């Protein structure tokens, strides 16, 4: 079946905006063409489709950060602080922290104990 590329682009953009899609893989549940057809027409490399997905991500993240800011929920406030804080603050808030600088050469041996058969 032959498809009109511009119509496919329009259908993709409409679905992305209408259903607030943030992953390209979600698109194929809302358009009348297959994933293979989409990629065969190289629609995945179009800037306007990438931008529509990215715009949704930015809008959703902004909305969530506002909810976290306005919330009295400690977990939400902590998550927002970790996003806004600097490296030192995030390290102090973290329950566990491992720093890997890429310069230290250390041999690590991992021993995996065999499972006990019952």
Distance of alpha carbon 32 from alpha carbon 26, whole angstroms? 13
Q: According to the 3-state scheme, what is the secondary structure of the chain?
A: CCCCHHHHHHHHHHHHHHCCCCCHHHHHHCCCCCHHHHHHCCHHHCHHHHHHHHHHHHHHHHHHHHHHHHCCCHHHHHHHHHHHCCHHHHHHHCCCCCCCCCCCCCCCCCCCCCCCCC
* Structural domain spans, the chain: 5-93
Burial 68-106 (b: 16+ CB within 10 A, else e): beeeeeeebeeebeeeeeeeeeeeeeeeeeeeeeeeeee
Query: What pLDDT does 115 receive?
Result: 72
pLDDT, block means (10 residues), the chain with 118 residues: 92 98 97 96 97 97 95 92 89 74 70 68
Query: What pLDDT does 114 receive?
Result: 72
Query: What pLDDT does 116 receive?
Result: 67
Query: What pLDDT does 101 receive?
Result: 72
pTM of the entire predicted model? 0.70
Query: What pLDDT does 113 receive?
Result: 72
CB atoms within 10 A of CB 12: 25
């Amino acid at each position: 079946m032959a498809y009109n590329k511009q119509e496919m682009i329009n259908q993709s953009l409409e679905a992305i905006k209408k259903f607030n899609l943030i992953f390209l893989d979600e698109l194929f549940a809302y358009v009348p063409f297959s994933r293979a057809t989409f990629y065969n027409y190289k629609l995945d490399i179009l800037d306007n489709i990438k931008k529509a997905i990215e715009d949704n991500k930015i809008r959703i993240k902004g909305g969530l950060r506002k909810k976290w800011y306005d919330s009295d929920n400690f977990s939400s406030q902590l998550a927002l602080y970790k996003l806004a804080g600097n490296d030192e603050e995030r390290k102090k808030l973290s329950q566990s922290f491992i720093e890997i600088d890429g310069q230290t050469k250390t041999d690590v041996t991992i021993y995996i104990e065999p499972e006990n058969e019952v």
